Chains A and B, each alone.
Chain A
Amino acid sequence: MAAMPKAPRVSAQWRNVGRIVARRLGLSVFLLIGITTMTFVLSHVVPGDPVATMLGDRGTPREIARMRSQLGLDRPLPLQYASYLWNLAHLRLGTSIRTRRPVLKDLADYFPATLELSTCALLLSLALGIPLGIASALRRDRPLDHAARLFSLGGVSMPVFWLALVLLALCYGRWDILPAGGRLSDFTLPPPHVTGLLLVDSLLANDWVAFRDAAWHLIAPSICLGYLTTATLARQVRAQMLEVLNQDYIRMARGLGLSEPVVILKYALKNAMLPVITVIGLSYGSLLSGAVLTETIFSWPGIGRYAVGSSISLDFPALMGVTLLIAVLYGVVNLCVDLLYLVLDPRIRDGAAREIE
């Protein structure tokens, strides 16, 4: 007779969770140190002189030297690096050469705009890409599938900046149904600052005018930013769904007479989404860091545009701040993905399956 099922105890499961989280955190710390080192080296070996750029025509050699010592740029590199790390550990990211404000403050100002935009873009892609992928897989090689694949092909081939310009030319220039850019219209009073996310803040303040205006401004940039992700998701979901629908456990579920919606949306979708989660995480990470083009075109005051401005003026403290922020975001997103795997896949929870890299 068969033995008792070898279900691991709950404590063993928690040990696994702890191990995975600890590993991810350890990797994140390593990643952060590595990235700061890389940025530091990059910013200090390059030939450009930010002070000269900053002072421009007014930069007499004496003036430049005074400024350099004021910014600590005349000290030996290892010392500069040590003090940089020391400051980082205390969350002092330095002062932006361009805006002359603490970088942390700048990031706090610019990041919510990016967060709001990328989150909207991601939600849009999830809402569109997943159903599209499922429908495409179920109607494989039928007209709907062909249309969906064409749409996805467009998404992975479209130059975002060009799409943005075309959208602007049509929706703003020709039909005037969408704004030209920015987060709010000039005549709309911004809601009181709580989170920095205008949609959330306006809801908190019960300010529907601001909410509608903010949402109106989000439409075009979200579409531009989200198209690629939508396309990627639709392709991935389609491929995974086709793979899963061919599995024995789905044929079994169908063979047991379970209704088609239950089989597809409950039993097949969960399995198909498992590998897609990684894609979603990666996409969100690149949305958060890759909004540079979209933000530039739609005058969106996010970290992408901040980074463009900073690199034009060789503002390395600011650039390092942005890089660091993005690295942290990557770490956080990856941690969330890992945790989601733990929630969704009992095999990983039990440590029975190899962890995802």
Chain B
Amino acid sequence: MSRQSTRHPSPSTGASRKGTPGKPRPRQQPSRVWQGLKRNPLSVVGLVVVVFFLLLAVVGPYLTPYDPTAQDLRAALQPPSRAHFFGTDSLGCDVFSRVIAGARYSVPSGFVVVAAAVIIGLLIGSVAGFAGGWTDEILMRVTDLFLAFPSLILAMAIAGALGPSLPNALAAIAVTWWPAYARLVRGEVLRVKQAQYVEAARALGVTPARILWVHVLPNCMAPVVVAATLDLGSVILTAAGLSFIGFGAQPPEPEWGAMINAGRAYLGSQAWIIAFPGLAVLTCVMGFNLFGDGLRDALDPRSVRNQGSSASKNA
């Protein structure tokens, strides 16, 4: 008879990503993740929104009724109508076309920055966690350094020095965004490193690089994927914010933050100019957040453990 655990089955509580040391998370089959996602209708809504904006980013520019940067001063500041669904801005550009075209700026921004941050974070975090000792200490202190560096200020400094543009802004965001991943990955590596199969691989003489690549990293990916999904939204917000204060995309580029900035003067009278790009940012980010939350609940090791607790214990 085995020792009894008093844990009762309980669905996931979300958020915290503590793991039991030495216990590898069960690797998730995609179908199982999908099952978990489907149980939560909101995360499906999130997925739909995400897919919608992804499609918009890919094919959006071909769908716009007008050229998003074509000015027509005779048609400036028109309220929403059948000809211009979202009205026109102060230069006569069609806001609807610009909002659609804006997806091509914001959505890839998120992916580029998060991809860069994940890659750097994986590199630094896995080496720090796997090597330990002084390497770990030095790498993590450098990470702290970048973590304490205010991202907006850095972005502004870079924009000031190299000239404001969206790529410069994204570079600045990426520079301050990777430390979070380095810490996350390091923690995960430390946890997985103690697992018995890693010990076994080491005892068998498998090279450290191969252990890290084949045995450790794949088992660290679940929380990284969740954090990345949630971060996509935050990066889109930050990039839009930088464009809004003029350190990112520059007018007449149809970027949502820049559009809102350009429409500020017409806040009281022609609210549609800023209302629609703002709603676009809000919806897009909300989609990523909903999807990320759902993904986290579906991948949460504890929720998986608890669901399968009675099944796996005696098997």
Chain A: which residue is nearest B241 at the CB level? A293
| CB contact list, A157-202 vs B, under 8 A | 157-162, 165-166, 168-169, 173-174
Chain B: which residue is nearest A330 at the CB level? B148
Question: Is the pair B257, A159 in contact by a Cβ cutoff of 8 Å?
Answer: yes
Contacts of A275 in B (CB 8 A): 16
Contacts of A174 in B (CB 8 A): 268
Cα distance, A216 to B233, chains bound together (Å): 32
Question: Is the pair A168, B241 in contact by a Cβ cutoff of 8 Å?
Answer: no
A38-B149, A159-B241, A293-B245 known; A48+B268 contact, CB < 8 A: no
| CB contact list, B137-152 vs A, under 8 A | 141-142, 144-145, 148-150, 152
Contacts of B237 in A (CB 8 A): 157, 159-160
Question: Is the pair A153, B289 in contact by a Cβ cutoff of 8 Å?
Answer: yes
| CB contact list, A295-326 vs B, under 8 A | 296, 304, 307-308, 311-314, 316, 319, 322-323, 326
**Cβ of A209 < 8 Å from any Cβ of B?**
no
Contacts of A48 in B (CB 8 A): 160-162
**Cβ of B314 < 8 Å from any Cβ of A?**
no
Cα distance, A235 to B296, chains bound together (Å): 13
Contacts of A316 in B (CB 8 A): 157
Chain A: which residue is nearest B155 at the CB level? A311
Question: Is the pair A169, B241 in contact by a Cβ cutoff of 8 Å?
Answer: no
- Which of the segments B94-102, B211-219, B279-287 contacts the partner chain? B279-287
Produce 1/0 per residue, B258-273, CB < 8 A to A: 0011001001100100
Give min CB distance, A169 to chain B, whole Å: 5
Contacts of A57 in B (CB 8 A): none
Question: Is the pair A169, B268 in contact by a Cβ cutoff of 8 Å?
Answer: yes
Contacts of B154 in A (CB 8 A): 42
Contacts of A243 in B (CB 8 A): 13, 16
Contacts of B142 in A (CB 8 A): 34
Question: Is the pair B149, A235 in contact by a Cβ cutoff of 8 Å?
Answer: no
Question: Is the pair A246, B13 in contact by a Cβ cutoff of 8 Å?
Answer: yes
**Cβ of A21 < 8 Å from any Cβ of B?**
no
**B13, B150, B289 pick with most chain A CB within 10 angstroms:** B150
Give min CB distance, A274 to chain B, whole Å: 11
A165-B274, A307-B153 known; A173+B245 contact, CB < 8 A: no
Question: Is the pair B241, A161 in contact by a Cβ cutoff of 8 Å?
Answer: yes
Cα distance, A295 to B124, chains bound together (Å): 35
Q: Which residue from B150, B286, B289 sits with its C-beta under 8 Å from A290? A: B150
A165-B264, A275-B16 known; A157+B157 contact, CB < 8 A: no
**Cβ of B31 < 8 Å from any Cβ of A?**
no
Cα distance, A153 to B142, chains bound together (Å): 33
Cα distance, A233 to B254, chains bound together (Å): 34
**Cβ of B156 < 8 Å from any Cβ of A?**
yes
Cα distance, A337 to B16, chains bound together (Å): 19
Produce 1/0 per residue, B154-185, CB < 8 A to A: 10111111100000000000000000000100
Question: Is the pair B274, A162 in contact by a Cβ cutoff of 8 Å?
Answer: yes
Cα distance, A292 to B145, chains bound together (Å): 21
Chain B: which residue is nearest A30 at the CB level? B141
Question: Is the pair A162, B282 in contact by a Cβ cutoff of 8 Å?
Answer: yes
A319-B153, A326-B153 known; A156+B233 contact, CB < 8 A: yes
**Cβ of A135 < 8 Å from any Cβ of B?**
no
Question: Is the pair B241, A153 in contact by a Cβ cutoff of 8 Å?
Answer: no
A159-B281, A165-B274, A292-B245 known; A239+B16 contact, CB < 8 A: yes
How big is chain B's contact interface, by range? Answer: 35 or more
Contacts of B150 in A (CB 8 A): 289-290, 322-323, 326
Contacts of B285 in A (CB 8 A): 156-159
Contacts of A314 in B (CB 8 A): 160-161
Question: Is the pair A319, B281 in contact by a Cβ cutoff of 8 Å?
Answer: no
Cα distance, A238 to B96, chains bound together (Å): 39
**Cβ of B192 < 8 Å from any Cβ of A?**
no
Give min CB distance, B162 to chain A, whole Å: 7
Question: Is the pair A31, B15 in contact by a Cβ cutoff of 8 Å?
Answer: no
Chain A: which residue is nearest B150 at the CB level? A289
Contacts of A248 in B (CB 8 A): 6
Contacts of B14 in A (CB 8 A): 235, 238-239, 242
Question: Is the pair B145, A46 in contact by a Cβ cutoff of 8 Å?
Answer: no
**Cβ of B10 < 8 Å from any Cβ of A?**
yes
Cα distance, A314 to B6, chains bound together (Å): 62
Give min CB distance, A319 to chain B, whole Å: 5
**Cβ of B244 < 8 Å from any Cβ of A?**
yes
Contacts of B245 in A (CB 8 A): 161, 292-293, 296, 308
A165-B278, A311-B157 known; A160+B289 contact, CB < 8 A: no
Give min CB distance, A139 to chain B, whole Å: 15
Question: Is the pair A46, B162 in contact by a Cβ cutoff of 8 Å?
Answer: yes
**Cβ of A283 < 8 Å from any Cβ of B?**
no
**Cβ of A80 < 8 Å from any Cβ of B?**
no
| CB contact list, B285-307 vs A, under 8 A | 285-286, 289-290, 293
**Cβ of A5 < 8 Å from any Cβ of B?**
no
Give min CB distance, B86 to chain A, whole Å: 15
Give min CB distance, A30 to chain B, whole Å: 6
Give min CB distance, A264 to chain B, whole Å: 16
Question: Is the pair B161, A323 in contact by a Cβ cutoff of 8 Å?
Answer: no
Contacts of A173 in B (CB 8 A): 267-268
**Cβ of A222 < 8 Å from any Cβ of B?**
no
Question: Is the pair B145, A153 in contact by a Cβ cutoff of 8 Å?
Answer: no
Contacts of A161 in B (CB 8 A): 240-241, 244-245, 257, 260-261
Cα distance, A173 to B271, chains bound together (Å): 11
A38-B145, A160-B241, A357-B183 known; A239+B15 contact, CB < 8 A: yes
Question: Is the pair A327, B148 in contact by a Cβ cutoff of 8 Å?
Answer: yes
Contacts of B293 in A (CB 8 A): 153
Cα distance, A168 to B268, chains bound together (Å): 9
Cα distance, A173 to B148, chains bound together (Å): 38
Contacts of A159 in B (CB 8 A): 237, 240-241, 244, 257, 260, 278, 281-282, 285
List the 7 shortest-distance A-B pairs measured between CB atoms, nearest first.
A239-B15, A46-B161, A162-B278, A311-B156, A311-B160, A242-B13, A157-B286
What are 5 A-B pairs at a CB distance below 8 A? Answer: A39-B157, A157-B289, A159-B260, A159-B285, A238-B15
